[in-house]
Structure 1
Amino acid sequence: PRPQQGVDADGPIHARQATIATAAGTVTLTAAAPARVIAQPIRAALFPLLSVIAALAAIFAVAAFVQWRWALRPVLALRDQVAAIRHGVREQVDEDQPDELRPLAAELNALAAEGAAALAAARGSAANLAHALKTPVATLALTLPPDGAAAAQLARIEGVIRHHLARARTAAIARRARTDLSATVADVAGAIGALHRHAAIAVDVPAGLIVAVDAHDLAEIVGNVMDNAARHAAGRVAVSAAAQDDAVLLTIADDGPGIAAERREQAMAPGIRLDEGPSGDGFGLAIVRELLTLCGGRMALGEAPGGGLSVAIALPHAAG
């Protein structure tokens, strides 16, 4: 049969035509129908076929998602445990993992143990040094007039030694540090304000900001930065704090001369003083950066609005 196409008043027509030789002569047979009649069974078959394909695609998508989520559950749990170690809630991850993740868990635990050992060694070294200096400093204090400037500086040195000895004793206690930032800032601001009466210290620290920093370390961090700001301020020091996603941001800004951008990193180096005044020893910001590194915080120097130095201190949130 030969296919034929045509059009009538109702639309396209599809036909087949065949020529047959008979005893009576050649006979031509033609069969025709509207194209829509021929296409209707095809359309009727396509709808259930497409429905089945769509249903299978949905089933496969759900199965793939469930399998993906199920396969990633150990990885997500491992991630949460590593975050808990970083926040001090736990000391190691579970090593009862699938075969593919068990070596990774063991390496993470080894890394956490090495970090804890390094921190303990650093604190132990500081404690040993402080203990070794305690007796000579006490002996030297007996030879100085009790009301002189040298005696005052020696008393300050003795206080630092006592602080580090206390830190070494409390470091052995396995607990999570939790310190109220607003209370510490208020105490330090009162002391610094009494020492530098020319600088008005404005404090805007909301209550309830609990940071994962030892109380003595936090007081030393805030005290060094605030004392530095008050010494260089023309008349005002602004202290503010706000909670962020992963930290509490404490900002201490003064209206003094500030520090040029190219010299800010140098200002945080140990023993470096950028001013020529009689006060200060050049170790304040270096000590702050060292303490922040130990507790998982960070510090950045910038320019305060209207001039002066702005010190932004990010402190880790306390767990819970």
Structure 2
Amino acid sequence: MVIGEPSSLQRRLIVGAAVGSMLALAGASMAIGVVLHWFVRGQLDGRLDDRIMALVSEVHEAPGGGLALRHDREVPPLDRLGSGWYWQVRRGGAVLRSASLGDARLAIPAGPAEAEGPAPADGIGPHGDGLILRVLRAPGRPGEPETVVIASAPKTALYGPIFEVLCHVGLAIALIGLGLVGGVLVQVRVGLRPLRRLLEQLGDVRAGVCERVPAEQPLEVRPLVGEINALLEQNAANLAHARGHVANLAHGLKTPLATLALAFDERGESRDARLAGLVEGMDRRVRHHLRRARAAAVSGPGRDRVELAGVVDDVVMVLRRLSADKGISLITDVPAGLSVACERQDAEEMLGNLVENACRWCAGRVRVSARREDSSIVVRVEDDGAGLTREEAAAVLQRGRRLDESQPGHGFGLPITLEVAELYGGSLDLDRSSLGGLSVRLALPS
């Protein structure tokens, strides 16, 4: 394995199971070969032993001397010269042999002087071919030589059938091996399916579809799911604790700052403009960090979801009242059922900033629409005002920059909306509207 290459659990399981199966099949093949050898050799030895015992019962001394058989009839393959199927009987100097030997003789292997039955003694035949020999040494009566009876079979009679059977067995084992490998592939994929499902469930937690990983898991995965859920709960608690501290600090500063601002307003022209500006700047920073504390929730588990149509209706209703004296026509086109993965307070603030900005700069018409695009919900807020050039569009997205200093506000609306949208994995873009003014495109995850 290459150093640094990520290991694959699926690959390890498949390779391990495949190697184990192949080793088991190889061992089974060897065992089958051994059993076949033992079985075929036993059959051959039995056949040769039967021939030897038949020769012992049929051989006798011929009237003119020498040895002879009572029934001198050879059967195949003992009648074929050089077939390897031989027999030979020797008693003293007299030798009687099968027709397949011709004029040749079988060398008598060394062995015990006496034996209860035929004994194995493999050797080489007269034509240099390997033979399977069975030898019986029968002692003669007192004063008579022993009788040595030999029967043989060619080694091809042993290994030929074994090889033929092993070819078929090997093919069957190869097919079994392929089936086992296929079964291992299916088993591993099915066995690892809970891990893939767990990955999808973690993605749902990250996307805010659910707050915790479902506890209904296979027994082996439950401890892991329990630890993941415990970690999610701990992170959520830590996040809530940190957000609470930030909110408490910001709220603790807001009241003194509001009191100072009111005191400066009451002093009228005699107020210190520099100190009033500092108080105003501090108030902006407190509000800004309050927004960031809320938006930081997106990094925690269990992100909220809010239906967009309700938020747009609430924002438009408020701004219609605030801009009633301007006679602005506010048009909404937001289908029901569109939800965004963010907190309702953040959605209200982002849309409130955009719609309020459009009402401030429009000539009389503002349109709010929303559509689903892939995995995002895209909200467009358009007006029929003068619009912005590319340079102006880039400038208004910088915190604290205002193109018209005569208008109320601090220039934090669009930049903060952009920052909160990016924290949720969204985006904010400025373009020219078909109404003639500015078009703000806000994309949020669905």
Tell me the TM-score normalised to structure 2 length.
0.44
Cross-structure match for 2:397 = 268
Q: 1:211 to 1:63 in 2, by over 3 A?
A: same
Unmatched 5+ residue regions in structure 2? 1-173, 267-279
Equivalent residue number for residue 304 of structure 2: 177
Q: How does 1:86-105 map to 2 (within 5 A)?
A: 86-87=207-208, 89-90=210-211
Superposed CA deviations along residues 19-77 of structure 1, whole A, max 9, x for unmatched, are: xxxxxxxxxxxxxxxxxxxxxxxxxxxxxxxxxx9999899667635534543541442
- Identify if the C-alpha distance between structure 1 residues 76 and 259 changes in structure 2 by more than 3 Å, giving closer, same or farther: farther
1:267-303 residue CA offsets vs partner (Å, 9 max, x unmatched): 2221122344422311001121233244443322223
What residue in structure 2 maps to residue 125 of structure 1? 246
2:441 to 294, 298, 312: 312
For residues 138-194 of structure 1, the C-alpha deviation after alignment (integer angstroms, 9 at most, x for no partner) is: 35436646xxxxxxxx9xx79x96x959x87xx8xx975343322221221122233
- Are 2:268 and 1:141 equivalent residues in the alignment? no
AA aligned to 2:318 is A
Go from structure 1 to structure 2 and tell me whether the alpha carbon gap of 1:75 and 1:179 turns closer, same or farther (over 3 Å shift): closer
| Superposition deviation, residue 233 in structure 1 | 1.6
Of 204, 209, 214 in structure 2, the residue corresponding to residue 83 of structure 1 is 204
Distance 1:96 1:71, change over 3 A: closer
Q: Shift in Å at residue 121 of structure 1?
A: 3.6
**Counterpart secondary structure, 1:314:** strand
Cα distance in 2 for residues equivalent to 1:296 and 1:89? 17
The aligned runs of 1:103-114 (5 Å cut-off) are none
Structure 1 residues 55 and 258, CA, compared in 2 at 3 Å: closer, same or farther? farther
Mapped partners of 1:269, 1:70: distance in 2: 53
Contact kept, 8 Å, 2:306 with 2:343, in 1: the verdict is yes
Residues 263 and 70 of structure 1, relative CA distance in 2, 3 Å threshold: farther
Secondary structure of the 1:253 match is strand
Structure 1 pair 185–85 and aligned structure 2 pair: CA distance change class (3 A):
same
Which 10-residue stretch deviates more, 252-261 or 112-121? 112-121
For residues 282 and 250 of structure 1, the distance between their equivalents in structure 2, rounded to whole angstroms, comes to 21
| TM-aligned CA distance change 1:177 to 1:79, over 3 Å | closer
Contact 1:119 1:294 in 2 (8 A): no
Aligned counterpart, 1:255: 384
**1:64 counterpart = 2:191:** no
The Cα RMSD (Å) is: 4.6
Q: 1:274 to 1:93 in 2, by over 3 A?
A: farther
- Does the CA contact (< 8 Å) of 1:81 and 1:93 recur in 2? no
Report the CA distance shift for 1:299/1:126 in structure 2 as closer, same or farther (over 3 A).
Answer: farther
- Cα 1:124–1:291 change in 2 (3 A) is farther
How many angstroms apart in 2 are the aligned matches of 1:214 and 1:164? 14
Is the aligned partner of 1:222 residue 2:222? no
> CA 1:107–1:212 in structure 2 vs 1: closer, same or farther (change >3 Å)?
closer
The change in CA–CA distance for 1:188 and 1:303 in structure 2 (over 3 A counts) is same
Classify the secondary structure of the residue corresponding to 2:192: helix
> Which of structures 1 and 2 has the larger relative contact order (alpha carbons within 8 angstroms, sep 6+)?
1
**Percent identity between the two aligned chains:** 27
Contact persistence 1:92–1:112 (CA under 8 A): no
Equivalent residues of 2:387, 2:438 under 8 A apart: yes
- 1:220 alignment partner, SS class: helix
Match of 2:361 among 199, 209, 232: 232
User: Bigger radius of gyration, 1 or 2?
Assistant: 2
The answer on whether the counterparts of 2:333 and 2:370 sit within 8 Å (CA) in structure 1 is yes
Other-structure match for 2:105? none
Contact map agreement 2:212 2:302 (CA 8 A) in 1: no
Residue 252 of structure 2 aligns with an amino acid whose one-letter code is: H
TM-score (norm 1): 0.58
Distance 1:84 1:234, change over 3 A: same
Q: CA deviation at 1:89?
A: 2.0
**What residue number does 2:322 align with?**
195
Code of the residue aligned with 2:245 in structure 1: it is G
**Does the residue aligned with 1:243 lie in a helix, a strand or coil?**
strand
- Offset of residue 225 of structure 1: 0.5
Tell me by how many angstroms 1:202 deviates: 0.7
